[in-house]
Amino acid sequence: MPGEHSSKQYDMDLETIRSKVLAMGGLVESQFQDALSCFRTGNIAQAEQVIKSDEGVNNLEVSLDDACSHLIVKRQPAANDLRTVMATIKVITDLERIGDESTKIARAAKSITERGVTTINHYETIRVMSISASNMLRDALDAFARLDGKQAIKLIAQDEVVDFEFRSIMRTLITFMMEDPRTISGALDTLWVAKAIERIGDHAKNIAEYVIYIVEGKDIRHTDYAATQLEDRTSN
Amino acid sequence: MPGEHSSKQYDMDLETIRSKVLAMGGLVESQFQDALSCFRTGNIAQAEQVIKSDEGVNNLEVSLDDACSHLIVKRQPAANDLRTVMATIKVITDLERIGDESTKIARAAKSITERGVTTINHYETIRVMSISASNMLRDALDAFARLDGKQAIKLIAQDEVVDFEFRSIMRTLITFMMEDPRTISGALDTLWVAKAIERIGDHAKNIAEYVIYIVEGKDIRHTDYAATQLEDRTSN
């Protein structure tokens, strides 16, 4: 039977992993901000830096997955403790995907700048949406750091805002393209960037769902649990 | 120390989970095929069926994740055995995402049919790519069923083909849109479908990588291991 000693060891090992996952979160957050920044400024060197930094994120994914496996084998956690490890493994996957999406934004920024496309103010089109998604990511990492279920529930509702903004961007870009077919190629680049930002919002929402799974023990994926909770809490 | 009995129990439990994951794989494979079919025919009832079936896929994700956690807590597998469970959990995530992407294709089919857009032969544009991605998915599930590392390595190379076909579709659609701006809205729908298919190819590739992780114990994500292996084997 695992005694207090083993359980303390487990807690310590888990805390080490969690702090590394948070460092990974900080890394992909910078990646995302830098990608948006070079999409705004057309700084190719910065775009290349973002693309290059993805290797570090990928390595973190592999080594953290490995650390989680080791933790399970060595400490054989009980059901409650295992839940945290499982959710952490899923969070790691989402963080890696956020890195991928940021890389796509950086690639689009590079491509637009190199082709000298200037017919649309690309950044202005996605500005509001990128702020919403950035806030979601920051809040998701914050909720994961503090295991704050309330904050997680709040931010899940934000995903609808980002989706709404995405559809609005799409309509704007279609109008541009129809008015002046020369803008089509540049508008599509912007559309892919908007799509990448929308997906980063999705991943932030996933992370929030895993936080709720850790804190409340409820698997709320594919349910409207967060919306119901939010209604209950705001109506009180 | 876990004896032979415990290990046999573990094998049996794992086999039960694996067969359910394969059933989930069969379900998302049908979802994908049905989504493509209604994109071709414009059958709205079928599109709605695909969208509805996603609930079943989502429920399978949640219950299979749970089954994997139970297996770990109950059987406390050693490092080697745990590897299979971990990879299975990741495969489940990819299968659920394939279901999501199929649902997106069905929604696009519905939207195109309802709007009566007929200026582009949408299906013809994505036909070749959809066959490539379907083959990848079938091979990935097959490799997972038979734990066939060789097949997994082969299909990872196919992902480049799908990516190439996607870029070619994008160029075709840009040409259409520039020639006749009235095709823009319909072309974008087709582009989202192509994007969904490309992502299904990505997920099939991920599944293949997890098969290699199970069979060979190597985490080959973010490496060119598969390409190297393929060269070695074809040059002999």
So what's the ipTM on this one?
0.90
Query: Quick one: which of A141, A105, A106, A134 has its CA closest to A24?
Result: A141
Interface touch A62/B222, C-beta < 8 Å:
yes
- C-alpha distances in Å from residue A122, one per residue of A43, A185, A227: 14, 12, 33
User: Most distant CA pair in chain B: distance in Å?
Assistant: 72
Domains of chain B by start residue, with CATH = 4-235 (1.20.58.220)
**Interface A:B, Cβ pairs < 8 A:** 76
Q: Report yes or no: A145 and A76 within 8 Å, Cβ to Cβ.
A: no
Minimal-distance CA residue of chain A relative to B83:
A69
| Chain B residues touching residue A219 (CB < 8 angstroms) | 62, 65-66
Reply yes or no on whether the pLDDT at B70 is more than 70: yes
Residue B178 near chain A (CB below 8 Å): yes
Q: What Cα–Cα distance (Å) separates residue B31 from each residue in A110, B64, B172?
A: 37, 19, 27
Query: CA-CA-CA-CA torsion for B163, A98, A88, A142, nearest 10 degrees?
Result: -170
Tell whether A100 lies on the interface with B, counting CB pairs under 8 A.
Answer: no
Cβ-based contacts of B55 with chain A (< 8 Å): 222
| Per-residue pLDDT tens over the stretch A72-83 | 999 999 888 899
Residue B222 DSSP symbol: T
Contact check, Cβ <8 Å, B177/A174: no
Identify the band that residue A116 occupies on the pLDDT scale cut at 50, 70 and 90.
confident
Q: State how far the Cα of A22 lies from the Cα of A207, in Å rounded to an integer.
A: 12
Please choose, from the candidates B139, B193, B135, B206, the residue with its C-alpha nearest in 3D space to the C-alpha of residue B166: B193
Residues of chain B in contact with residue A207, where contact means CB-CB under 8 angstroms, are none
Burial class of A52 by CB neighbour count within 10 A (0 to 12, 13 to 18, 19+): exposed
pLDDT tens for residues B107-161?
999 988 888 865 567 889 999 999 999 999 999 999 999 999 999 999 999 999 9
State residue B1's pLDDT score. Answer: 47
Could you tell me if B56 lies within 8 Å of chain A, comparing CB atoms? Answer: no
CA distance to partner chain B, nearest, from residue A236 (Å): 31
Tell me the pLDDT tens digit for each residue of A5-23: 568 888 999 999 999 999 9
